[in-house]
């Protein structure tokens, strides 16, 4: 996995939107090399870890490429975390360096008091002005201007050390064994998929934060193929349409929450942008309501493909838009190996019955510093799971039901809230919805919903009653929420995952 072969092409490697900052392949290569030399000069060697605290900016890819060609693990940290939360990840990963940014200066400044062993020796902060520095932190990129821009002598392939989003507890580090080979000899995780899905002259849109697994891995994978990546500095629905039109984007990757927000734009706005350059788009990270995907295909055409995978990379499925129209709601068939649906006793379930999803192919991994969780992710066959629930149809297509830990048990009946959530967001006045269970003396758990409306003025008791009646007309009553509350913003990650524990705690009173 390398970008070096595209030096001299004259093509942009990264275009930031909306600022328009452009980094060519030549410059990206030079920046990565200078930083790799700095890592070696600071005593960082294969298997060491660096932490990255940066928003989507012009430096993020250079840092990741420098780590990757230095045999290092790199940990992109969620920019929304507090200093204490970020420090937990830095400490848990045993990071020997931190590279931050001026935008996250306050977070970086607060790390020291939460790190039991103190700050690592190598500290860098990407600065935009003289006031952006931190005492004891080197100013980047000034601190590497004297470093060579040629490759280090002992290049080795590194890897992403991704931490889970922490929606059910503290984030877990997902670590894989390094290949112990030079980058040129290492197999790119996404090279086959990128090669089959895109062409050399494609332009790829990355609208999500690069600290997440898919945006970081996909953007680096397309760069390794010489493809330009348009990186949105921050997602907003109309901004995504503007980026596609302005940069003649041909491919992109989204999450369903982005689709919902784009579809909720006024029709005149949606149709005011020229999206004719689009050839294929992909979505993943969270289940997409069937009706939302139908609306996207009606709008953009049958070019909306989908894959289902996890940060653990235990396996993946894929389905094209054309195939999905024949199997609506499915996330496809496995790219390699097989999918197994298991009951609680570990037995394999027949088609049509929902159970925990296991893959028998994929990468080996461990949850860092947590051997019990690592062991619990595999069964007696060595098949791996991340706790998702679903079923296979008679043709072997996989359908997702929900996450195991999201299941509600009310009156002894298992209820998967995803079905009600998917329906609620199709209401024209609803922007987002979360359905969850709270303690109930009679039923064990009671189904409730928290809803974010498109217009704040619609968050009324009258609309709550209207919405309850609307969903009861369309869904079995036992699956419907008993009550609806309104939130100005649901606690959702940038990839669409809900922090339901926050809502459960709030409404369990």
- pLDDT by 10s per residue, the chain, length 509: 689 999 999 999 999 999 999 999 999 999 999 999 999 999 999 999 999 999 999 999 999 999 999 999 999 999 988 999 999 999 999 999 999 999 999 999 999 999 999 999 999 999 877 777 899 999 999 999 999 999 999 999 999 999 986 655 678 999 999 999 999 999 876 888 898 899 999 999 999 999 999 999 999 999 999 999 999 999 999 999 999 999 999 999 998 889 989 999 999 999 999 999 999 999 987 778 899 999 999 999 999 999 999 889 999 999 999 999 999 999 999 998 999 999 989 999 999 999 999 999 888 999 999 999 999 999 999 999 998 889 999 999 999 887 777 778 787 677 888 889 999 999 999 999 999 998 887 777 899 999 999 999 999 999 999 999 999 999 888 889 999 999 999 988 776 777 888 898 899 87
d(CA 193, CA 65): 20
Each residue of 93-124: b (16+ CB within 10 Å) or e?
bebbbbbbbbbbbebbeebeeebeeebbebbb
The pLDDT, as a whole number, for residue 77 is 95
The domains spanning 4-186 and 410-507 adopt the same CATH topology = no
- The DSSP bridge partners found for residue 434 are 450
d(CA 21, CA 35): 20
The pLDDT, as a whole number, for residue 498 is 79
Instruction: Tell me the three state secondary structure of residue 287.
Output: coil
In sequence order, which residues have a C-beta less than 8 Å from that of residue 165 and are 6 or more positions away? 78, 171, 493, 495, 497
260: how many CB neighbours lie within 10 A of its CB? 23
CA 396 to chain centre: 26
- Percentages helix, strand, coil for the chain, rounded to the nearest 5? 30, 25, 45
Boundaries of every domain in the chain = 4-186, 410-507
The pLDDT, as a whole number, for residue 167 is 53
The pLDDT, as a whole number, for residue 128 is 79
In sequence order, which residues have a C-beta less than 8 Å from that of residue 11 and are 6 or more positions away? 24, 25, 226, 228
Under CATH, what is the fold of the domain 4-186? Rossmann fold (3.40.50)
The CATH number that domain 410-507 falls under is: 3.30.300.30
Residue with tokens 């996207």: 296
d(CA 64, CA 59): 9
What are the start-end ranges of the E strands in 237-381? 251-254, 280-283, 304-308, 317-319, 330-334, 339-342, 355-359, 366-367
pTM metric for this prediction? 0.86
484: closest CA among 441, 439, 419, 438? 438
């Amino acid at each position: 996995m390398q970008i070096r072969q595209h030096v001299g092409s004259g093509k942009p490697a990264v275009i930031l939107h909306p600022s328009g900052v452009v980094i060519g392949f030549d410059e990206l290569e030079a920046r990565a090399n200078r930083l790799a030399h700095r890592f070696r000069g600071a005593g960082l060697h294969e298997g060491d870890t660096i932490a990255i605290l940066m928003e989507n900016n012009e430096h993020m890819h250079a840092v990741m490429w420098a780590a990757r060609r230095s045999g290092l693990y790199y940990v992109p940290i969620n920019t929304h975390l507090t200093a204490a939360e970020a420090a937990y990840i830095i400490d848990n990963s045993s990071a020997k360096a931190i590279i931050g940014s001026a935008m996250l200066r306050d977070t970086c400044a607060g790390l020291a008091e939460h790190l039991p062993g103190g700050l690592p020796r190598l500290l860098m902060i990407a600065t935009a002005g003289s006031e952006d520095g931190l005492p004891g932190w080197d100013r980047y990129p000034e601190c590497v201007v004297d470093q060579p821009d040629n490759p280090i002598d002992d290049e080795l392939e590194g890897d992403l050390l991704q931490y889970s989003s922490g929606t059910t507890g503290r984030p877990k580090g997902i670590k894989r064994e390094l290949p112990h080979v030079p980058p040129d000899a290492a197999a790119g995780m996404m090279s086959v998929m990128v090669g089959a899905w895109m062409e050399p002259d494609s332009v790829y849109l990355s609208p999500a934060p690069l600290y997440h697994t898919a945006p970081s891995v996909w953007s680096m994978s397309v760069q390794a193929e010489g493809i330009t990546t348009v990186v949105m500095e921050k997602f907003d629905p109309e901004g995504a349409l503007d980026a596609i039109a302005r940069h003649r984007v041909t491919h992109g990757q989204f999450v369903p929450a982005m689709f919902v927000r784009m579809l909720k734009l006024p029709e005149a706005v949606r149709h005011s942008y020229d999206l004719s350059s689009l050839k294929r788009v992909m979505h993943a990270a969270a289940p997409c309501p069937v009706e939302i995907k139908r609306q996207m295909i009606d709008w953009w055409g049958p070019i909306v493909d989908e894959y289902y995978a996890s940060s653990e990379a235990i396996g993946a499925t894929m389905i094209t838009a054309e195939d999905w129209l024949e199997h609506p709601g499915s996330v496809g068939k496995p790219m390699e190996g097989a999918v197994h649906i298991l009951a609680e006793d570990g037995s394999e379930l027949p088609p049509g019955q929902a159970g925990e999803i296991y893959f028998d192919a994929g990468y080996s991994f461990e949850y860092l510093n947590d051997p019990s969780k690592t062991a619990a992710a595999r069964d007696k066959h060595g098949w791996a799971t991340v706790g998702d629930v679903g079923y296979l149809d008679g043709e072997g297509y996989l359908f997702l039901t929900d996450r195991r830990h999201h299941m509600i048990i009310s009156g002894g009946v298992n209820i998967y809230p995803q079905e009600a959530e998917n329906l609620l967001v199709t209401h024209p006045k609803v922007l987002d919805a979360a359905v969850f269970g709270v303690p109930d003396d009679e039923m064990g758990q009671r189904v409730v919903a928290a809803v974010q409306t498109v217009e704040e003025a619609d968050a009324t008791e009258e609309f709550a009653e209207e919405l309850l009646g609307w969903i009861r007309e369309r869904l079995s009553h036992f699956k419907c929420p008993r009550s609806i509350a309104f939130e100005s913003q649901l606690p959702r990650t940038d990839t669409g995952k809900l922090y339901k524990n926050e809502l459960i705690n709030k409404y369990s009173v």
